[in-house]
Structure 1
């Protein structure tokens, strides 16, 4: 029997990716790493899919160390020609309507991927779709997979250059995505019983005026929270996110946006929220999963 409890936990990470989207680790490897980093609560938030969550639940239920898994997803949206990501947290990942809706996003991803491959072929790089699909494996195909293909083929010498020369906005192989809008993503999340959080607002290439406009429209559309703490934020930028959360009465979330082991991001690292914000999880009931807890 699982034990339900409200507790104060030391390490909460509500944003990471597995190989079901553009992460490098399998579900099992991701959970093992979270244990090694002493994470207490983990949300797996793959891009436009919840396909890996049941496997994560099953795997964690056999572990000795307890950890709460929060079902999540990161939904891609379009807003004034910007790609904006909305996290859906603590939702019903088995909801048939949600799964059907996310499958539409997956179809859009695949259509975009084929167009990217066509542009790369015109630029003299053939066979990219097939290899990107192979790298993606069970996961959603993303631009990150094409970047890895370009690196493999020696077309570029870094993943960053793959985006700067080919895949980034305005470059030779860029294809404008056809994502849903922000209000639609929020509705999908709410319909599945989850909370909608504006992901990594400090990373968008927006002026202060446009970022504020984004946050206002997100709030007006029914958004619940903002990711106050995420990777690569300066102390000044973190304070700005805290100020936005306070000003617009949005709950605060924290996530590493972990994709693979590297020196810049790590599961559960430096994600403590300041006291003046309301955590997105403030009224959640945590259900620790482990072999011990479920025995």
Structure 2
């Protein structure tokens, strides 16, 4: 069975519209698809009318938060889209994103990239504005040769456009998902580049807060990395989730769909949801 519980659309920083993403899921033969845009339910809301062709559509969101001085992402699956706690949290996160975008633009302007805010907003449209919008604008205007170079030079961690944002605390974010009746999942644990000790401490804090699962697949990973995350899940008594973290079709990215057989005999969140 193929599922994908971590995907993005044009409602945040993905390249495909919700309908295009859903069509791709149908073509790929998925059993279930979760739309988990950054800090917004707009992608899922736009895809609701498309539920057909044997693909179960799961309401999801990827929320930004802080733990240990680092930005952490928590995926909430099967959330109630009408939850007052969730909607208030999303409004707050969107305001933080707008504030961050203005600060990023100011930094880029000082580096000579004139019109950065308007340019990124034009690319984002109604979507939640994200750093990739700035990166694509920098490329389109000739300031950078590639999106990767834009992050390496100006937008990545530790670079001028890396604005420290006062995201909510991890525990508060997990509480919002739980209040909305959802399943909180620690997204892409290895992307934080924590030491083994710090990663285990993060999982402890996540579990204590009410977190239920960790992603053991979130794109293209080695067998050794998947094995490492499976052991982590077992050690911390957490279930597992699977996703591609799909943003767009590209040579080095994973396509939609992960086989649940990868989890082996470890409990998967799809067993709670489907």
TM range, smaller chain: over 0.9
Distance in 2 between residues matched to 1:276 and 1:53, nearest whole Å: 30
Using CA pairs below 8 Å that are at least 6 residues apart, which structure has the higher relative contact order?
Answer: 1
TM-score by length of 1: 0.89
The structure where helix makes up a greater share of residues is 2
Structure exhibiting the larger radius of gyration computed from Cα positions? 1
Offset, 1:269: 4.3
1:90-129 maps to which residues of 2 (within 5 A)? 90-129=78-117
Aligned to 1:255: 243
Aligned to 2:271: 282
> Aligned pair count?
273
1:227-248 Cα deviation digits (max 9, x unpaired)? 0122131111110100011111
TM-score by length of 2: 0.96
SS of the residue 1:74 aligns to: strand
Partners of 1:27 and 1:55 within 8 A in 2: yes
Corresponding position: 1:21 with 2:9: no
Aligned to 1:140: 128
Partners of 2:178 and 2:210 within 8 A in 1: no
Corresponding position: 1:172 with 2:160: yes
SS of the residue 1:282 aligns to: helix
Partners of 1:114 and 1:129 within 8 A in 2: yes
Structure 1: gaps of 5 or more residues: 1-9, 287-295
RMSD: 1.3
Aligned to 1:163: 151
Structure 2: gaps of 5 or more residues: none
SS of the residue 2:99 aligns to: helix
Offset, 1:103: 0.9
Match of residue 210, structure 1, among 179, 188, 198: 198
Match of residue 273, structure 1, among 258, 262, 265: 262
Partners of 1:256 and 1:271 within 8 A in 2: no
Distance in 1 between residues matched to 2:68 and 2:142, nearest whole Å: 34
Aligned to 1:84: 72
Distance in 2 between residues matched to 1:16 and 1:52, nearest whole Å: 10
Offset, 1:54: 2.4
